[in-house]
Amino acid sequence: MAIRKIVILCFIICQLPLLLLLPCHRNLAYAAGGKWDLLMSNIGISAMHMQLLNDDRVVMYDRTDFGMSNISLPNGKCRNNNNDLALKVDCTAHSVEYDVSTNSVRPLMIQTNVWCSSGSATSDGSLVQTGGSNDGKFVIRVYKPCITGKRSNCDWQEMGNGLIQSRWYSTNHILPDGRQIIIGGRDAFNYEFHPKTPSTNNVFSLPFLQQTNDPREENNLYPFVFLNVDGNLFIFTNNRAILFDYTTNTIVKTYPQIPDGDPRNYPSTGSAVLLPLKNLEAQTIQAEVLVCGGAPRGSYLKATRGEFVSALNTCGRIVITDPNPQWTMETMPLPRTMGDMVILPNGNILIVNGAAMGTAGWGIARGPVLSPVIYRPDNLHDSRFEVQNPNAISRMYHSTAVLLRDGRVLVGGSNPNELYNFTGVLFPTELSLEAFSPSYLDSESANLRPQIISPVSRHKFKYGQRVNIQFSMSGLLNKNSIKVTMVAPGFNTHSNTMNQRMLVLSNGVVKQVGKSSYQMSCLFPKSGSLAPPGYYLLFVVHQDIPSEGIWVRIF
Ligand SMILES: *[C@@H]1O[C@H](CO)[C@@H](O)[C@H](O)[C@H]1NC(C)=O
Ligand SMILES: *[C@@H]1O[C@H](CO)[C@@H](O)[C@H](O)[C@H]1NC(C)=O
């Protein structure tokens, strides 16, 4: 509370045109708006796709036909590929594994082109990546984290033609039974599964994807897909959505068009999240989706002619489980296309990266939006957004953001150029990695931050299991403002974080069990429709300040 008062006081003083303004403003910025750190200025590639795995490493890749990257393959390895459009022999890596704890990268080897592809973590914690372009468009690749064994032996494995339909700009989602569904893509108005069974060894058509495809603009690639609590898929593309039963190939519900009718998917490229799922023991569980930013219809074609239209500054929010669902529109403090929406451990949403004008595509956006915005879904309508401190690095087309276990958000990528290009362009290829630390990581909050004692990380839990959680905290505990959250780390590319999902677990009374240690029980979600099987990050949150997460596996 004291910090809050100082901040408010400081804010008031800052509003006055006094000499005090500068030093004061700096304090305000630190206390209220998060902080940025440059982690590595050069990871060798441009982080165009990212996935955090349960060994606290983030797998990243760009594309194989970018020419030489800035990191060599290990042990003198080279990629010999006659199909490569840039280099037939390439001794550089186009994928790396970032180690959060040592802040370093290790090069990985990919053989075929993974550009603008999609992926999903599996129930056993591997990353399955699908499609890409050119020689990679039918390929499935698997990366298993090195939990045991020699790290240098852990690398991508490519599975020839694992896809039936070529997939470029498609969206994946893990299903309650652990399979994944792969939906859409350029000229791919259908879906398929991985792995396949005799009855699913096929593609299934989805005309909705064709109906939402704007001539010459598309505006429906990388559809936003969320698993609803009833097991159906919510699929949003362009400016509208359906609830879809993938088991019977039927549309269960058609949602109203988003009120302004403007497009939210690639290349207009807004972003979307399924808001945290709560009251998981209730008879009916509500699910809500938030879609933010994008670009007015026609922006892409205008941008290709050098006219850069202001991006959308609106978010649409809809209760997808409502019998009569309606969109509620909200206004962001800043317009944004190509933003990324990251669910923070306390259930707030970080909107980061992107541009204020133009759209996705080669060199057709302007006005980097350097300030992230936090959205607090539970606040009153007019007090949800808060602008955060800006970074110094433009994160335009092909930039990325994912949550880390310690509560920071890892930010990387940005390459609106056809090759690696560092000179003579408006937005040079970014090889750097930064971290955004939301204000809950400020040292002032240290004594209010819980620390999980048990369970230990990487333990397995069954659906519906009751689990005791012990944590310690040095400061004064407010028992009424404790919650336990569980978040599925997503596969992020092109402003779309596939599988990102938070559940707020039902918890019992908090009991003191030691000098500054506490215990409570909580209930794990009861089904795979609520939480598909796999690894999640679990946090204890006190007064909106999260503990460091632990990995839990639910099955
Ligand atoms: C990476 O860039 C640096 C600086 O430009 C250069 O010296 C180095 O040789 C490059 N490494 C690779 C593998 O391209
Ligand atoms: C970088 O882009 C500029 C401007 O389009 C172009 O002239 C130059 O050839 C590009 N460099 C590389 C290495 O592609």
* Closest listed ligand to the CA of 94: 1
Residue nearest to atom 6 of ligand 1 (CA): 70
Regions in the chain scoring below 50 on pLDDT: 1-31
Locate the ligand 1 atom nearest the alpha carbon of residue 68 and give its number: 14
How many CB atoms are located within 10 Å of the residue 291 CB? 24
Give the CA angle between residues 303, 414, 311 to the nearest 5°.
Answer: 35
Q: What is the DSSP string of 216-246?
A: TTB--BS-EEEE-TTSPEEEEETTEEEEEET
Q: Which of 324, 241, 334, 345 is nearest to 292 (CA)?
A: 334
Residue nearest to atom 3 of ligand 1 (CA): 70
| 434 alpha carbon – ligand 1 mean position (Å) | 20
Chain segment 320-359, per-residue pLDDT in tens: 999 999 999 999 999 999 999 999 999 999 999 999 999 9
Alpha-carbon span 8 to 246, nearest angstrom:
50
Segment holding 477, helix H or strand E:
none
Q: What is the pLDDT of residue 45?
A: 98
Q: What is the pLDDT of residue 151?
A: 87
Q: How long, in residues, is the chain? A: 555
Q: Is the CB of 71 under 6 A from ligand 1?
A: yes
How many CB atoms are located within 10 Å of the residue 310 CB? 15
Alpha-carbon span 424 to 417, nearest angstrom:
11
Q: Is the CB of 70 under 6 A from ligand 1?
A: yes
* Closest listed ligand to the CA of 362: 2
- The residue extents of the domains of the chain are 2-441, 445-554
Q: Is the CB of 424 under 6 A from ligand 2?
A: yes
Locate the ligand 1 atom nearest the alpha carbon of residue 69 and give its number: 14
Q: Is the CB of 426 under 6 A from ligand 2?
A: no
| 461 alpha carbon – ligand 2 mean position (Å) | 52
| 398 alpha carbon – ligand 2 mean position (Å) | 18
Cβ–Cβ under 8 Å, residues 445 and 549: no
Q: What is the pLDDT of residue 403?
A: 98
465 Cβ neighbours under 8 A, 6+ residues apart: 523, 524
Q: Is the dihedral of CA 369, 371, 374, 375 positive or negative?
A: negative
| 70 alpha carbon – ligand 1 mean position (Å) | 5
| 90 alpha carbon – ligand 1 mean position (Å) | 14
Q: Is the CB of 421 under 6 A from ligand 2?
A: yes
Angle between helices 2-15 and 21-32 (to 10 degrees): 140
Report how far Cα 279 is from the mean position of its chain's Cα atoms: 23
Pocket-testing residue among 364, 417, 422, ligand 2, by greatest number of atoms within 8 A of Cβ: 417
* Closest listed ligand to the CA of 425: 2
Residue nearest to atom 14 of ligand 1 (CA): 70
Chain segment 530-547, per-residue pLDDT in tens: 999 999 999 999 999 999
Residue nearest to atom 7 of ligand 2 (CA): 424
| 425 alpha carbon – ligand 2 mean position (Å) | 7
Q: What is the pLDDT of residue 32?
A: 56
Residue nearest to atom 9 of ligand 1 (CA): 70
Alpha-carbon span 285 to 388, nearest angstrom:
32
Q: Is the CB of 429 under 6 A from ligand 1?
A: no
Give the CA angle between residues 372, 373, 379 to the nearest 5°.
Answer: 160
* Closest listed ligand to the CA of 423: 2
Alpha-carbon span 499 to 272, nearest angstrom:
11
| 67 alpha carbon – ligand 2 mean position (Å) | 13
Name which CATH class applies to 445-554: mainly beta
Q: Is the CB of 428 under 6 A from ligand 2?
A: no
Pocket-testing residue among 69, 87, 417, 421, ligand 2, by greatest number of atoms within 8 A of Cβ: 421
| 70 alpha carbon – ligand 2 mean position (Å) | 17
What is the dihedral angle through the alpha carbons of 85, 90, 93, 94, rounded to the nearest 10 degrees? 0
Classify strands 466-472 and 517-523 as parallel, antiparallel or unpaired.
Answer: antiparallel
| 156 alpha carbon – ligand 1 mean position (Å) | 24
| 427 alpha carbon – ligand 2 mean position (Å) | 11
Residue nearest to atom 2 of ligand 1 (CA): 70
Cis peptide before 267 (omega within 30 of 0): yes
Name which CATH class applies to 2-441: mainly beta
Question: In terms of pTM, does the model score above 0.75?
Answer: yes
